[in-house]
Amino acid sequence: MSTQLTPVLTRYWDEPRSWTLESYERTGGYTGLRNALAKDPAELVGIAKESGLRGRGGAGFPTGMKWGFLPEPDGGPRYLVVNADESEPGTCKDMPLLMASPQLLVEGMAITSYAIGCTHAFVYVRGEVVHVYRRVLQAVQEAYAAGYLGRDILGSGFDLDITVHAGAGAYICGEETALLDSLEGRRGQPRLKPPFPAVAGLYARPTVVNNVESIASVPSILANGADWFGGMGTEKSKGYGIFSLSGHVTRPGQYEAPLGITLRELLDVAGGVRAGHELKFWTPGGSSTPMFTTEHLDVPLDFESVAKAGSMLGTRALQIFDETVSVVKAVSRWIDFYAHESCGKCTPCREGTYWLKQILTRLEAGQGVPGDLEKLDDIASNILGRSFCALGDGATSPVHSGLKYFRDEFEQAMHTPVDVSFPPHRSTVFAKEDVTS
Amino acid sequence: MGHANLPNYGTAPAPESDAYDAQVLDALLVDAAEVVRRYPQKESALLPLLHLVQSVDGYVTTRGIEFCAAMLGLSAAEVSGVATFYTQYKRHPNGDYTIGVCTNTLCALMGGDAIFERLSDHLGVDHDETTPDGAITLERVECNAACDYAPVVMANWEFFDNQTPESAVDLADALRSGAPVRPSRGADRVCTFRQVSRVLAGFPDGRADEGPGAGEASLVGLRLAKERGWHAPEPGQAQDNAADTGGRTPSGGLEPGRSGSTDTPANEPDEKPGDGKVEK
Ligand SMILES: Cc1cc2nc3c(=O)[nH]c(=O)nc-3n(C[C@H](O)[C@H](O)[C@H](O)COP(=O)(O)O)c2cc1C
Ligand code: SF4
Ligand code: FES
């Protein structure tokens, strides 16, 4: 049996007015919260652990274990902060989720807050998607009005407030400690760890930071059981997840499937690479994850298998590029992004991305200087593992993997502009088919 | 009067701004107090307050910086340090509409570069510049979380999906003419920069129910699953839909994997905050 799609989070996105509480309740919403409030908070942490849910924001850290790391209550506040900053290039799942089904997140936050003893939770939504922000604000208002938030929720005695906060344009604010600094009203720059947010997070209090999709998965686990969730996926990467296909694919979009599905299977349902073209390279989890090629079509997209094959599952952001695309150009553009978004706190990343950018810009123009490729590799190697946060490490992924799989293209770019080797119009969606191709 | 004696908190010469008149200031104070109330600590209100300032002034003005500083007990330099960090805060008067063309790798290759070039020619402005009539500020933006709709253009942070150079020029012309313009997935019409800034400060504009729940690409997987009768297992029949990894997943001894790229793990999987290791 080949792996099939399993819509859970995406299940009701096509309902009329799917974003409203009324629609959400009609399709079984808030069953999970009712189940949860009947249980002891510690039991909920246990259920999250048993389910095997791992963070959907990139690293795959076990969610229940993260909740369990909070120290014993000391009477002071404990916070849940949801990371809705979604800015990793290629990643496009949380924004449609919040636009179509924001109540999934609100219910998940209520359950999680109850589990960890939090009475004031936050959602940090990237500022560049105003309609998503409207929908989340309204979802929270509706939940208050219906008694799912506020005082004495559903007669349980549990109180919860949610503040929906808009960012202002900075990729680094997706990094959880930078996010906390930003939420405290500062420049979004990462903090030294330890202490980890579990011990000293928002306002130096115990804090859980989770991704939108992680928290949105919680209601279904509470409604259907940890075994149900764990019955999907692979042994160590359990459950379903949203796979986002973009680029040169016939039907780009969101495909929810058990972890462990392969790109070959996904391309099969998505109608394959666009007509008349073939797969060249792809990212399994956004630009910060080393690229893959056609040899990786059958790698199961779970945390372990992707790591074993030399990359990372990341956010399941599958950006597909066909043979019309210059790898040098793609890498160069990604490095522009990292150089632009580097927060400047640490030298390897701030200076390193700047120098990578200089070299790649030369190569794009076909004006490499002898030693450039070695220098690219050397600079990237000096960023990797020496940066203060994972943004710097991520910047090295396209460089190293690009050189590894497509070194000949970099050699060619030493003397030939990439736009000559790869005429850019051929990659566009509005390209007229070349007669010769 | 020159700029010499005025505080300049930014990199560009800060245009002069007169003090707020009493009425505007009163309204600002009421709104700002509401923003501050949302947070356990008042400094957290700074980002929304800067959006609020932009909703009144159309960019982050000197007087706006001073207002935020006074509200939150910060120095103007601290506020300015924050404002200059984030790309959505403008250091000079913004157009009524920001048109942001995604030129991150995927969109750029799929047509974003061609779109930006055409718009730039058409409008006669480059990145982060505003047309002389003050209507449009053109920008290159980074990935806007809509890659499945590439190439993507944002107008005042509303989605315009699957764009072409021609559609983007039409969009710019329509916005410039003041005609109502409907985004692909968003409110019924694109609001002005100031209106949108007010929403981002956390003041709903009553438009949340407008527009679709999801676009076509967001629904493509769901539609296929429905057509083919695929669904997640019912509770109680758990094994049915486990991924068929057909022996490709190495059994036992799975590699722990490098720590995520898009991520600094909160803790290593085997690590407890502070120090000691936890048992697996
Ligand atoms: C540069 C950078 C950007 C990140 N952006 C996001 C993001 O937009 N959304 C997100 O959930 N996690 C992001 N992360 C990961 C977070 O740091 C954090 O690990 C995650 O929110 C934890 O949630 P999870 O355990 O539920 O996955 C980013 C990490 C880095 C280093
Ligand atoms: S790695 Fe880059 S983004 Fe992270 S702290 Fe250093 S400079 Fe900032
Ligand atoms: S690359 Fe343009 S929206 Fe993601």
Tell the burial category of B128 from Cβ atoms under 10 Å away from its Cβ (0-12, 13-18, 19+). middle
Are A92 and B239 inside 8 Å of each other by CB?
A: no
Torsion of CA A255, A261, A263, A269, to 10 degrees: -50
Gap between the Cα atoms of B110 and B99, Å rounded: 18
Q: What is the pLDDT of residue A433?
A: 55
Choosing from A230, A248, A283, the residue where a domain stops is A230
What is the total count of domains within chain A?
Answer: 3
Instruction: Mention every residue, 6+ apart, whose C-beta is less than 8 A from residue A94.
Output: A84, A86, A211, A212, A213, B145
Q: What percent of chain A has pLDDT over 90?
A: 98
A335 CA to middle of ligand 1, Å?
19
B1 min Cα distance to partner chain A (Å): 33
Q: Rounded to an integer, what is the distance from CA B196 to the centroid of its chain?
A: 11
Is residue A375 situated within a structural domain? yes
- Count Cα atoms within 13 angstroms, Cβ side, for B36: 14
The interface predicted TM-score of the complex, written ipTM, equals 0.96
Residue B22, H or E segment: helix B22-37
- Structural domain of A78: 21-230
Gap between the Cα atoms of A270 and B259, Å rounded: 30
Choosing from B93, B120, B147, the residue where a domain stops is B93
The reply to whether B121 and B155 lie within a common domain is: yes
Give the ligand whose atoms come closest to the C-alpha of residue A334. Answer: 3
The reply to whether A47 and A142 lie within a common domain is: yes
A178 CA to middle of ligand 2, Å?
10
Residues 4-43 of B with CB under 8 A from A: 38-41, 43
Instruction: Mention every residue, 6+ apart, whose C-beta is less than 8 A from residue B117.
Output: B165
Instruction: For residue range B231-260, list pLDDT tens digits in order.
Output: 999 887 644 444 444 333 333 322 333 333
Adjacency order of strands within the sheet including A317-322: A253-258, A240-247, A317-322, A279-283, A292-293
Are A307 and B255 inside 8 Å of each other by CB?
A: yes
What is the CATH classification number for the domain harbouring B171? 3.40.30.10
What is the CATH classification number for the domain harbouring A165? 3.40.50.11540
**Concatenated DSSP letters for B250-280?**
PPSS----PPPSS---SS-TTB-SSS-BPP-
What angle do the packed helices A347-364 and A327-341 form, to 10 degrees?
Answer: 150
Instruction: For residue range B35-68, list pLDDT tens digits in order.
Output: 999 999 999 999 999 999 999 999 999 999 999 9
Is the CB–ligand 2 distance for residue A158 below 6 Å? Answer: no
Instruction: For residue range A160-208, list pLDDT tens digits in order.
Output: 999 999 999 999 999 999 999 999 999 999 999 999 999 999 999 999 9
Question: Please, are residues B32 and B46 in contact by the beta-carbon 8 Å criterion?
Answer: no
The reply to whether B15 and B88 lie within a common domain is: yes
Phi, psi of A132 (to 5 degrees): -65, -40
Choosing from B175, B200, B225, the residue where a domain stops is B200
Are A245 and B262 inside 8 Å of each other by CB?
A: no
Is residue B278 situated within a structural domain? no
Amino acid sitting at position B271 = E
Residues 148-177 of B with CB under 8 A from A: 148-151, 154, 156-159, 162, 164-165
Are B88 and A253 inside 8 Å of each other by CB?
A: no
Is residue B249 situated within a structural domain? no
β-bridge mates for residue A320, sequence order: A247, A282
Question: Please, are residues B158 and B187 in contact by the beta-carbon 8 Å criterion?
Answer: yes
Q: What is the pLDDT of residue B260?
A: 32
A92 CA to middle of ligand 3, Å?
8
Is residue B280 situated within a structural domain? no
Is the CB–ligand 2 distance for residue A342 below 6 Å? Answer: yes
Gap between the Cα atoms of B190 and A245, Å rounded: 28
Instruction: Give the chain B residue whose CA is nearest to the CA of A166.
Output: B200
- Chain A residues close to B202, C-beta within 8 Å: 137, 164-166
Is the Cβ of B77 closer than 8 Å to some Cβ of chain A?
no
Gap between the Cα atoms of B157 and B144, Å rounded: 9
A280 CA to middle of ligand 1, Å?
28
State the alpha helices, DSSP H only, in A233-344: 263-269, 303-308, 327-341
Instruction: For residue range A367-422, list pLDDT tens digits in order.
Output: 999 999 999 999 999 999 999 999 999 999 999 999 999 999 999 999 999 999 99
Task: Give the atom of ligand 1 at the shortest distance from the alpha carbon of A178.
Answer: 17
Is the Cβ of A11 closer than 8 Å to some Cβ of chain B?
yes
Longest dimension (CA), chain A: 73
Is residue B274 situated within a structural domain? no
Residue nearest to atom 5 of ligand 1 (CA): A174
- Structural domain of B27: 1-93
Instruction: For residue range A6-54, list pLDDT tens digits in order.
Output: 999 999 999 999 999 999 999 999 999 999 999 999 999 999 999 999 9
Question: Please, are residues B165 and A428 in contact by the beta-carbon 8 Å criterion?
Answer: no
Ligand 3 pocket test target in B102, B139, B163 with most atoms within 8 Å of CB: B102
Residue with token string 């208050």: A144
The reply to whether A159 and A60 lie within a common domain is: yes
Is residue A152 situated within a structural domain? yes
Task: Give the atom of ligand 2 at the shortest distance from the alpha carbon of A383.
Answer: 1
Higher pLDDT, B1 or B113: B113
**pTM of the full predicted structure?**
0.92
Measure Cα distances from A279 to A140, A192, B248 in Å: 43, 41, 22
Is the CB–ligand 3 distance for residue B115 below 6 Å? Answer: no
Phi, psi of B64 (to 5 degrees): -65, -40
What is the total count of domains within chain B?
Answer: 2
Question: Please, are residues A285 and B262 in contact by the beta-carbon 8 Å criterion?
Answer: yes
